[in-house]
Amino acid sequence: MKIRILGPGCPRCNEVEKRTIDALAELDIPADVQKITDLKKIMEYNIIATPGLVINGKMKCSGRIPSKSQIKNWINEELS
């Protein structure tokens, strides 16, 4: 599973990263989690606002901080 957190490194982006890592730990699922802070690379995802969360190449969320339960649901969706 590949997870990308998109954002410049602001507190909101850091919170998305923390919640995502916590969700993966609670689900006991390994994943390649990368934080992308380079603006040019972020723009490749056609994101309108940060923070953004991409799981297996699919934009799951942008411009807000999703709850940990939402993140868990998205992770489980990608596993099925």
Choose the catalytic residue: 1, 2, 9, 10: 10
21-70 pLDDT, tens per residue? 999 999 999 999 999 999 999 999 989 899 999 999 999 999 999 999 99
Cα–Cα distance between 48 and 40 in angstroms, integer? 13
Q: What is the pLDDT of residue 49?
A: 93
Annotated catalytic residue within 3, 13, 42, 71: 13
Is 61 one of the annotated active-site residues of the chain? no
Domain ranges of the chain: 2-79
Is the Cα torsion angle 77, 32, 20, 56 positive or negative in sign? negative
**CATH no. of 2-79:** 3.40.30.10
User: Using CA atoms, how far apart are residues 32 and 24, in angstroms rounded to an integer?
Assistant: 11
Choose among 73, 65, 61: nearest CA to 23.
73
- Told to judge if 13 belongs to the known catalytic residues of this protein, a careful annotator would answer yes
pLDDT band at 9 (very low <50, low <70, confident <90, very high): confident
- Say if CB 32 and CB 2 are below 8 A apart: yes
pTM (predicted TM-score): 0.92
Q: For residue 35, what pLDDT is reported?
A: 96
Q: Give me the helix-helix angle, 68-79 and 11-27, nearest 10°.
A: 50
